[in-house]
Amino acid sequence: MKILIINGPNLNMLGKRDPNHYGKLTLNDINKELKKRAKNKAKLVFYTNNEEGKIVTKIQRSLNFDAIIINAGAYTHTSLAIHDALEMFKGKIIEVHLSNVLERESFRKVNFINSLATKSFIGEKENSYYKALDYLLNN
Ligand code: DQA
């Protein structure tokens, strides 16, 4: 199984962002743990970018993957372009958020990804990512 793990804007800054929302780990810490958990069960490709168009292009070039785990960061709440790119993807899409976007500001309740997601893991800090991977490895 080939899984693309996409992280959008500001997720490269984990470790420096508000720990109450996002936890204390860096993205590198999280990715290392994901790699360990996937071992020889899945091939993980990590893509982190702050730019919307680059994320769109990456999705377009990855339509042959079996699954995408995506934390689109703020683009979750704004990006019709990422929604439309994901709409072409035939595999499983797992949505991830470290914080509980449903219990924060009302603008975070707007979500362009949720309707395309097979499953969403929200508000469990780094465990949201680990649960997303576990879900794909077991389903
Ligand atoms: C986030 C939640 C978004 O609202 C926010 O813009 C982020 C991170 C999360 O993982 O909790 O950058 O996707």
The helix or strand, by DSSP H or E, that contains position 60, with its residue range, turns out to be helix 52-60
Per-residue pLDDT at 14: 98
List the end-to-end C-alpha distance of the chain, in Å, as a whole number.
11
Percent of the chain with pLDDT over 90: 100
* Tens of pLDDT, residues 78-119: 999 999 999 999 999 999 999 999 999 999 999 999 999 999
Measuring from atom 12 of ligand 1, which residue has the nearest CA?
73
Which residue in 22, 75, 83, 129 is the catalytic one?
Answer: 22
In the chain, where the domains are located: 2-138
Residue 14 dihedral angles phi and psi, to the nearest 5°: -55, 145
Mean pLDDT of the chain: 98
> Both tokens of residue 99?
């914080």
Q: Is 77 a catalytic residue?
A: no
Measuring from atom 9 of ligand 1, which residue has the nearest CA?
97
Mean pLDDT, residues 39-51: 97
Ligand 1 binding site (Cβ under 6 Å of any ligand atom)? 10, 71, 73-74, 76, 97-99, 101, 108
Per-residue pLDDT at 86: 98
Give domain 2-138's CATH number out of 3.40.50.1820, 2.60.40.10, 3.90.400.10, 3.40.50.9100. 3.40.50.9100
Q: Is 22 a catalytic residue?
A: yes
Per-residue pLDDT at 33: 98
